Amino acid sequence: MPVTTNRVVAITGASSGIGEATARLLAERGAAVAIGARRTDRLEAVADDIRQGGGAVVTCETDVTRREDLVRLVDRAVAEFGRLDVLVNNAGISKIGPISDLDIDGWSAMIDVNLRGVLHGIAAAMPVFARQNRGHFVTTVSTAGLKIVPDMGVYAATKNAVRAVLEALRQESTDGVLRTTTISPGYVRTELDSSIDDAALREQIRDGMDTFGLAPEAVAEAVAFAIEQPHDVEIGDITIRPTVQN
C-alpha cells in the first residue's frame, strides 16, 4: 500500500466530509496531520480517533476567512512536526441559487471562503515552502466549474477563480520548489448542502448526494495519490465524479 510516511500535511475544513476523510487516510498511511476547522468539537473527535489509531495529529480552530487563522494552522504544524510538506485547501461552502435571486450576502460568503480562504492558505504556507525549498498546494475545486449549470453560477465562478490562481501559481513555480494540484469532485456525500438556504434546492442536492454521490474516502484517495508522487512528478488536476453523473 502506498504511504505518506514522514510527510506533514495541514488540512482545512477537516471536521467532516472530504477534509475529515483525507486527514484519516493520510494519518493511517503515516503522515503527520494538522487539521483545522471552525467546529472544534468535531475536530477534536476526529483527532482523538486518529490518535487512538496511532496517528500523529494536532488541531487548530480555523476560519479560512481570517488570514491569521491560516497562519496559526501552518505555524502549529511547523512547531509540532518541524516543517510543512503539503497544505490541503479544502474548506468550502455552497450558497447556490439563481443569480436573479440577488443573494449578495451568499455571493460574498462564497467569495470569502472558497476564494479568499484559498488565498489566505497560500499566503500562510508560501513563506514556509520557500524556506524549505519544497512544498505542495492541494486544493479542492469542483466539477461545477467544468460544466456550468443553472443555480451554480457564482459558486462555479469561485471555483474557477481558484483554478486560475493555481494554474498561474504553477506557471510561476517551474523551478521545482512548488507542486500544485486541483481536485475536482462531482457529487460527494458530504455536508456541503447544509450551506444552501433554498430548502427545495437543498433537498435536490441532498438527494443527489445520497442517491449516487461518492464516499468522501474516494476523494481522499485522489488527494493521497497526488501527494504520494515523487516531488519531480506533479499531478496538476484530478476530476473525480460518480460514473452516473451527467
Q: In what order do the strands lie in the sheet with 56-61?
A: 56-61, 32-37, 8-11, 86-89, 135-140, 178-185, 237-240
pLDDT, the chain, mean: 94
Helices (H), 39-194: 40-52, 67-81, 104-110, 117-132, 153-172
- Nearest-angstrom CA–CA distance, 136 and 239: 18
Please name which of 164, 172, 133 lies closest in space to residue 237, comparing C-alpha atoms: 164
Specify the amino acid at residue 168.
Answer: A
Residue whose grid cell is 517551474? 174
Contact 165/119 with Cβ under 8 angstroms? yes
* Phi, psi for 43 (deg, rounded to 5): -60, -45
Label residue 4 by pLDDT band (50, 70, 90): low
Lowest-confidence region among 66-70, 143-147, 195-199, 216-220: 195-199
Specify the amino acid at residue 104.
Answer: I
Q: Is 155 a catalytic residue?
A: yes
Give the pLDDT of residue 215. Answer: 93
Reported pTM: 0.93
144-153: burial string, b at 16+ Cβ within 10 Å, e else = bbbeeeebbe
pLDDT in tens, 48-62: 999 999 999 999 999
Give the pLDDT of residue 200. Answer: 83
Residue-range domains of the chain with CATH: 8-240 (3.40.50.720)
Question: Cell numbers at residue 169, please?
Answer: 501559481
pLDDT in tens, 88-129: 999 999 998 999 999 999 999 999 999 999 999 999 999 999
Q: Name the DSSP class of 10.
A: E
Catalytic residue among 107, 129, 155, 187: 155
Question: Cell numbers at residue 72, please?
Answer: 496559526
